Amino acid sequence: MARKKSVKPAPIKKVGFFKRIFNLVKNWVVGNGIEGFLGLIVGLILLPLGFKFYAGIAFGVFATRNWDLFKNWVKGLFK
C-alpha cells in the first residue's frame, strides 16, 4: 500500500490578525510620542503604589496626547 503524502494546512489567519494588532499598537506609540506612552506607564505604576495625585498628572499627559491624536484624525476626516 502506498502512503498518502501529508498535506500541511494553510497558514492560519491568526498571523495576519496579530500583525494588524502589532502595526496598530506601533502606529499608536509612534503617533502618541514617548510622552503619551510614558504617561500611561508611569500612571499605571504610580496608581497601585498610592501616589494618586502624581498618577493623575501622568494620566492627564496621556489623555492630552491622545486627545491631540483624535482631534487631528477628525480634522483629517473633514478635509
Tell me whether residue 46 is in a domain: yes
How far is residue 7's CA from residue 30's CA, in Å, rounded to a whole number? 41
Task: Determine the structural domain holding residue 61 and report its residue range.
Answer: 33-79
Tell me whether residue 51 is in a domain: yes
| Total domains, the chain | 1
Tell me whether residue 17 is in a domain: no
pLDDT tens track for 6-65: 766 665 666 678 888 888 888 877 777 777 788 888 999 999 999 999 999 989 988 888
Tell me whether residue 14 is in a domain: no
Q: Is the pTM of this model over 0.75?
A: no
Asked if residue 66 lies in contact with residue 32, where contact means CB atoms within 8 angstroms, the answer is: yes
Tell me whether residue 78 is in a domain: yes
Asked if residue 69 lies in contact with residue 32, where contact means CB atoms within 8 angstroms, the answer is: yes
Tell me whether residue 2 is in a domain: no
Q: Give the position of cell 504610580.
A: 46
Tell me whether residue 28 is in a domain: no
